[in-house]
Amino acid sequence: MEKKRMKAGRFWNRSIFFVVFILSSQHVNSQMQKESDSSEPGSWELFKYDMGSVFGGIGYSYSRPIHWKSEEWTTFGAVVGGTALLYVFDEQVSEFAMRQRGGVPDFIDYYGDRVGSPTYNYMLTGGVYLTGLLTKDEKLRRLGVLLLASASSAGLLQQVSKSIIGRARPEYGNGKDTFDPFNPNRSFHSFPSGHTILAFSNAYAIAKQFENPWVKTGIYLVGMVPGASRLWDGQHWLSDIAFGVAISIFTVESIDRYLDKRYRKKYNDKTKMVNWNASLGLGQIIIRGNF
Protein backbone atom coordinates (compact mmCIF):
# COMPACT_ATOMS: atom_id res chain seq x y z
CA MET A 1 0.00 0.00 0.00
CA GLU A 2 2.81 2.40 0.92
CA LYS A 3 4.57 1.72 -2.40
CA LYS A 4 1.36 2.53 -4.25
CA ARG A 5 1.04 5.80 -2.37
CA MET A 6 4.66 6.68 -3.18
CA LYS A 7 3.99 6.02 -6.86
CA ALA A 8 0.86 8.15 -6.63
CA GLY A 9 2.92 10.90 -5.01
CA ARG A 10 5.45 10.86 -7.84
CA PHE A 11 2.60 10.93 -10.35
CA TRP A 12 1.04 14.05 -8.83
CA ASN A 13 4.41 15.77 -8.40
CA ARG A 14 4.95 15.33 -12.13
CA SER A 15 1.39 16.49 -12.77
CA ILE A 16 1.98 19.76 -10.92
CA PHE A 17 5.11 20.35 -13.00
CA PHE A 18 3.11 19.55 -16.15
CA VAL A 19 0.40 22.09 -15.27
CA VAL A 20 3.00 24.80 -14.72
CA PHE A 21 4.72 23.84 -17.98
CA ILE A 22 1.50 23.97 -20.04
CA LEU A 23 0.48 27.35 -18.60
CA SER A 24 3.91 28.84 -19.21
CA SER A 25 4.74 27.33 -22.60
CA GLN A 26 1.98 29.29 -24.35
CA HIS A 27 3.94 32.51 -23.85
CA VAL A 28 7.55 31.65 -23.07
CA ASN A 29 8.53 31.27 -26.74
CA SER A 30 7.07 34.63 -27.70
CA GLN A 31 8.74 36.27 -24.71
CA MET A 32 12.15 34.90 -25.66
CA GLN A 33 11.80 36.27 -29.18
CA LYS A 34 11.31 39.85 -27.96
CA GLU A 35 14.30 42.15 -27.90
CA SER A 36 15.39 43.32 -24.47
CA ASP A 37 14.28 46.80 -23.47
CA SER A 38 16.67 48.71 -21.22
CA SER A 39 13.70 50.60 -19.73
CA GLU A 40 11.94 47.38 -18.72
CA PRO A 41 11.79 46.96 -14.92
CA GLY A 42 14.05 44.31 -13.44
CA SER A 43 12.92 41.13 -11.71
CA TRP A 44 13.26 42.66 -8.23
CA GLU A 45 11.03 45.61 -9.15
CA LEU A 46 8.47 43.26 -10.69
CA PHE A 47 8.58 41.04 -7.61
CA LYS A 48 7.96 43.97 -5.26
CA TYR A 49 5.07 45.16 -7.42
CA ASP A 50 3.53 41.68 -7.55
CA MET A 51 3.81 41.13 -3.81
CA GLY A 52 2.08 44.49 -3.35
CA SER A 53 -0.65 43.14 -5.63
CA VAL A 54 -0.92 39.97 -3.54
CA PHE A 55 -1.42 41.85 -0.26
CA GLY A 56 -3.61 44.45 -1.94
CA GLY A 57 -5.79 41.70 -3.38
CA ILE A 58 -6.15 40.04 0.01
CA GLY A 59 -7.23 43.31 1.60
CA TYR A 60 -9.59 44.03 -1.28
CA SER A 61 -11.30 40.64 -0.94
CA TYR A 62 -11.89 41.17 2.79
CA SER A 63 -13.35 44.63 2.23
CA ARG A 64 -15.88 43.62 -0.43
CA PRO A 65 -18.83 42.85 1.90
CA ILE A 66 -18.76 46.50 3.02
CA HIS A 67 -19.57 47.52 -0.55
CA TRP A 68 -22.13 44.81 -1.32
CA LYS A 69 -25.53 45.93 -2.53
CA SER A 70 -28.87 44.14 -2.40
CA GLU A 71 -28.01 41.78 -5.26
CA GLU A 72 -24.77 40.59 -3.65
CA TRP A 73 -26.45 40.15 -0.27
CA THR A 74 -29.24 38.16 -1.92
CA THR A 75 -26.65 35.88 -3.50
CA PHE A 76 -24.88 35.47 -0.16
CA GLY A 77 -28.21 34.70 1.50
CA ALA A 78 -28.90 32.05 -1.13
CA VAL A 79 -25.49 30.47 -0.49
CA VAL A 80 -26.17 30.37 3.25
CA GLY A 81 -29.64 28.96 2.60
CA GLY A 82 -28.25 26.31 0.24
CA THR A 83 -25.63 25.34 2.80
CA ALA A 84 -28.33 25.03 5.45
CA LEU A 85 -30.32 22.78 3.13
CA LEU A 86 -27.32 20.50 2.61
CA TYR A 87 -26.81 20.50 6.39
CA VAL A 88 -30.04 18.52 6.71
CA PHE A 89 -28.51 15.63 4.73
CA ASP A 90 -24.98 15.81 6.11
CA GLU A 91 -25.04 12.59 8.11
CA GLN A 92 -26.61 10.47 5.34
CA VAL A 93 -24.13 11.76 2.75
CA SER A 94 -21.18 11.26 5.12
CA GLU A 95 -22.15 7.66 5.89
CA PHE A 96 -22.55 6.86 2.20
CA ALA A 97 -19.24 8.51 1.24
CA MET A 98 -17.22 6.73 3.93
CA ARG A 99 -18.55 3.38 2.71
CA GLN A 100 -17.04 4.09 -0.72
CA ARG A 101 -13.50 4.72 0.52
CA GLY A 102 -12.26 1.17 -0.11
CA GLY A 103 -13.04 1.47 -3.82
CA VAL A 104 -11.22 4.76 -4.40
CA PRO A 105 -8.07 4.40 -6.59
CA ASP A 106 -4.83 5.13 -4.72
CA PHE A 107 -3.73 8.01 -6.95
CA ILE A 108 -7.05 9.81 -6.45
CA ASP A 109 -6.93 9.21 -2.71
CA TYR A 110 -3.37 10.58 -2.61
CA TYR A 111 -4.33 13.63 -4.64
CA GLY A 112 -7.25 14.42 -2.36
CA ASP A 113 -5.27 13.98 0.85
CA ARG A 114 -1.87 15.42 -0.04
CA VAL A 115 -2.15 17.62 -3.10
CA GLY A 116 -5.06 19.52 -1.58
CA SER A 117 -2.82 20.49 1.36
CA PRO A 118 -1.13 23.90 1.80
CA THR A 119 2.33 22.48 0.94
CA TYR A 120 1.32 21.26 -2.50
CA ASN A 121 -0.90 24.27 -3.01
CA TYR A 122 2.02 26.67 -2.72
CA MET A 123 4.22 24.41 -4.84
CA LEU A 124 1.75 24.95 -7.67
CA THR A 125 1.02 28.63 -7.10
CA GLY A 126 4.66 29.48 -6.44
CA GLY A 127 5.76 27.56 -9.52
CA VAL A 128 3.33 29.42 -11.76
CA TYR A 129 4.35 32.80 -10.36
CA LEU A 130 8.11 32.19 -10.50
CA THR A 131 7.83 31.05 -14.12
CA GLY A 132 6.04 34.28 -14.98
CA LEU A 133 8.58 36.35 -13.05
CA LEU A 134 11.64 34.73 -14.64
CA THR A 135 10.20 35.06 -18.15
CA LYS A 136 8.80 38.53 -17.36
CA ASP A 137 5.48 37.40 -18.76
CA GLU A 138 2.85 39.77 -17.36
CA LYS A 139 -0.06 37.43 -18.06
CA LEU A 140 1.56 34.53 -16.24
CA ARG A 141 2.71 36.78 -13.40
CA ARG A 142 -0.85 37.99 -12.99
CA LEU A 143 -2.12 34.41 -12.84
CA GLY A 144 0.49 33.58 -10.20
CA VAL A 145 -0.52 36.61 -8.17
CA LEU A 146 -4.19 35.63 -8.47
CA LEU A 147 -3.40 32.11 -7.26
CA LEU A 148 -1.23 33.26 -4.35
CA ALA A 149 -3.61 35.99 -3.19
CA SER A 150 -6.74 33.83 -3.50
CA ALA A 151 -5.26 30.88 -1.63
CA SER A 152 -3.86 33.13 1.11
CA SER A 153 -7.04 35.16 1.54
CA ALA A 154 -9.43 32.21 1.57
CA GLY A 155 -6.99 30.07 3.55
CA LEU A 156 -6.70 32.57 6.38
CA LEU A 157 -10.46 33.07 6.42
CA GLN A 158 -11.14 29.35 6.78
CA GLN A 159 -8.58 28.97 9.56
CA VAL A 160 -10.23 31.71 11.61
CA SER A 161 -13.73 30.42 10.82
CA LYS A 162 -12.86 26.86 11.87
CA SER A 163 -11.62 28.03 15.24
CA ILE A 164 -14.59 30.30 15.92
CA ILE A 165 -17.29 27.85 14.79
CA GLY A 166 -15.75 24.70 16.28
CA ARG A 167 -17.80 22.15 14.37
CA ALA A 168 -16.92 18.50 15.04
CA ARG A 169 -15.63 16.40 12.16
CA PRO A 170 -17.60 13.30 11.12
CA GLU A 171 -14.79 11.08 12.45
CA TYR A 172 -15.45 12.47 15.94
CA GLY A 173 -18.63 10.39 16.00
CA ASN A 174 -21.02 12.76 17.78
CA GLY A 175 -23.02 13.82 14.73
CA LYS A 176 -23.34 16.93 12.59
CA ASP A 177 -24.84 19.07 15.39
CA THR A 178 -21.78 18.99 17.67
CA PHE A 179 -20.12 22.41 18.08
CA ASP A 180 -17.45 23.58 20.52
CA PRO A 181 -16.30 27.10 19.54
CA PHE A 182 -12.62 27.98 20.02
CA ASN A 183 -11.68 24.38 20.80
CA PRO A 184 -8.04 24.03 19.59
CA ASN A 185 -8.45 20.30 18.89
CA ARG A 186 -8.47 19.66 15.12
CA SER A 187 -11.44 17.31 15.62
CA PHE A 188 -13.50 20.50 16.01
CA HIS A 189 -12.18 22.29 12.91
CA SER A 190 -14.64 21.01 10.33
CA PHE A 191 -16.44 24.08 8.96
CA PRO A 192 -15.49 25.08 6.30
CA SER A 193 -13.22 22.64 4.45
CA GLY A 194 -9.70 24.01 4.01
CA HIS A 195 -8.64 21.38 1.45
CA THR A 196 -11.67 22.27 -0.64
CA ILE A 197 -10.98 26.00 -0.46
CA LEU A 198 -7.31 25.74 -1.47
CA ALA A 199 -7.87 23.21 -4.25
CA PHE A 200 -10.95 24.82 -5.75
CA SER A 201 -9.50 28.33 -5.53
CA ASN A 202 -6.63 27.10 -7.68
CA ALA A 203 -8.91 25.26 -10.06
CA TYR A 204 -11.29 28.19 -10.43
CA ALA A 205 -8.46 30.68 -11.05
CA ILE A 206 -6.75 28.42 -13.59
CA ALA A 207 -10.03 27.64 -15.38
CA LYS A 208 -10.57 31.36 -15.92
CA GLN A 209 -7.56 31.30 -18.23
CA PHE A 210 -9.32 29.07 -20.78
CA GLU A 211 -12.26 29.69 -23.11
CA ASN A 212 -13.27 26.09 -23.84
CA PRO A 213 -16.15 25.12 -21.51
CA TRP A 214 -15.08 21.45 -21.55
CA VAL A 215 -11.58 22.39 -20.39
CA LYS A 216 -13.09 24.57 -17.67
CA THR A 217 -15.37 21.76 -16.53
CA GLY A 218 -12.48 19.29 -16.42
CA ILE A 219 -10.41 21.66 -14.28
CA TYR A 220 -13.37 22.21 -11.94
CA LEU A 221 -13.81 18.45 -11.52
CA VAL A 222 -10.13 17.97 -10.69
CA GLY A 223 -10.41 20.83 -8.20
CA MET A 224 -13.33 19.10 -6.48
CA VAL A 225 -11.44 15.85 -5.81
CA PRO A 226 -9.86 17.06 -2.52
CA GLY A 227 -13.31 18.05 -1.26
CA ALA A 228 -14.73 14.65 -2.16
CA SER A 229 -11.78 12.95 -0.49
CA ARG A 230 -12.55 14.77 2.75
CA LEU A 231 -16.02 13.23 2.63
CA TRP A 232 -14.88 9.62 2.31
CA ASP A 233 -12.08 10.19 4.84
CA GLY A 234 -14.63 11.39 7.43
CA GLN A 235 -12.89 14.77 7.76
CA HIS A 236 -15.71 17.03 6.57
CA TRP A 237 -19.44 17.19 6.02
CA LEU A 238 -21.04 18.01 2.67
CA SER A 239 -22.10 21.47 3.89
CA ASP A 240 -18.46 22.20 4.89
CA ILE A 241 -17.38 21.49 1.34
CA ALA A 242 -20.19 23.37 -0.38
CA PHE A 243 -19.54 26.53 1.63
CA GLY A 244 -15.82 26.15 0.93
CA VAL A 245 -16.51 26.16 -2.82
CA ALA A 246 -18.60 29.33 -2.43
CA ILE A 247 -15.78 31.04 -0.51
CA SER A 248 -13.35 30.07 -3.28
CA ILE A 249 -15.52 31.58 -6.02
CA PHE A 250 -16.21 34.82 -4.16
CA THR A 251 -12.53 35.23 -3.29
CA VAL A 252 -11.12 34.56 -6.76
CA GLU A 253 -13.68 36.79 -8.45
CA SER A 254 -13.05 39.74 -6.12
CA ILE A 255 -9.26 39.52 -6.37
CA ASP A 256 -9.38 39.10 -10.14
CA ARG A 257 -11.43 42.29 -10.34
CA TYR A 258 -8.84 44.07 -8.20
CA LEU A 259 -6.02 42.88 -10.47
CA ASP A 260 -7.78 44.43 -13.47
CA LYS A 261 -6.57 47.75 -12.05
CA ARG A 262 -3.01 46.56 -11.53
CA TYR A 263 -2.19 44.74 -14.77
CA ARG A 264 -2.75 45.56 -18.41
CA LYS A 265 -3.06 41.97 -19.58
CA LYS A 266 -5.03 38.88 -18.65
CA TYR A 267 -3.90 35.41 -19.51
CA ASN A 268 -7.15 34.91 -21.39
CA ASP A 269 -8.27 38.36 -22.46
CA LYS A 270 -11.61 37.02 -23.71
CA THR A 271 -12.58 35.42 -20.42
CA LYS A 272 -15.70 37.06 -19.04
CA MET A 273 -16.24 37.53 -15.36
CA VAL A 274 -18.69 35.02 -14.00
CA ASN A 275 -21.88 36.62 -12.76
CA TRP A 276 -23.57 34.76 -9.91
CA ASN A 277 -27.17 35.80 -9.44
CA ALA A 278 -29.57 34.42 -6.87
CA SER A 279 -33.32 34.62 -6.47
CA LEU A 280 -35.43 33.59 -3.52
CA GLY A 281 -38.91 32.22 -3.85
CA LEU A 282 -41.47 30.27 -1.84
CA GLY A 283 -39.73 27.04 -0.89
CA GLN A 284 -36.86 27.48 -3.34
CA ILE A 285 -33.43 29.00 -3.76
CA ILE A 286 -32.12 29.51 -7.31
CA ILE A 287 -28.52 30.40 -8.09
CA ARG A 288 -27.56 31.12 -11.70
CA GLY A 289 -24.03 31.38 -13.08
CA ASN A 290 -23.60 33.30 -16.32
CA PHE A 291 -20.40 32.35 -18.15
Instruction: Note the pLDDT tens digit of each residue in 206-251.
Output: 999 888 889 999 999 999 999 999 898 999 999 999 999 999 999 9
Express each pLDDT in 104-158 by its tens digit: 888 888 888 776 678 888 888 999 999 999 999 999 999 999 999 999 999 999 9
Return the pLDDT at 10: 53
CATH placement of domain 46-61+68-290: 1.20.144
Give the number of other Cβ atoms within 10 Å of residue 32's Cβ: 8
Please state whether the predicted TM-score (pTM) of the whole model is above 0.85.
no
Which H or E element spans position 288? strand 284-290
- How far apart CA 286 and CA 291 sit, in angstroms, is 16
Partners of 284 in the β-ladder:
281
Closest to 138 in 3D by CA, of 248, 235, 53: 53
Peptide bond into 192 cis (omega under 30): yes
Where is average pLDDT lowest: 41-45, 73-77, 78-82? 41-45
- How far apart CA 243 and CA 251 sit, in angstroms, is 12
- How far apart CA 140 and CA 31 sit, in angstroms, is 11
- How far apart CA 65 and CA 58 sit, in angstroms, is 13
Over residues 50-71, the mean pLDDT reads 94
Crossing angle of the two packed helices 238-259 and 213-232, in degrees rounded to 10:
140
- Cα–Cα distance list, 71 to 77, 141, 210, 278 (Å): 10, 32, 27, 8
- Cα–Cα distance list, 121 to 58, 127, 152, 193 (Å): 17, 10, 10, 14
Do 287 and 82 form a contact (C-beta atoms < 8 A)?
yes
Cβ neighbours of residue 109 closer than 8 Å, sequence gap 6 or more = 8, 101, 229
Express each pLDDT in 34-47 by its tens digit: 444 446 778 899 99
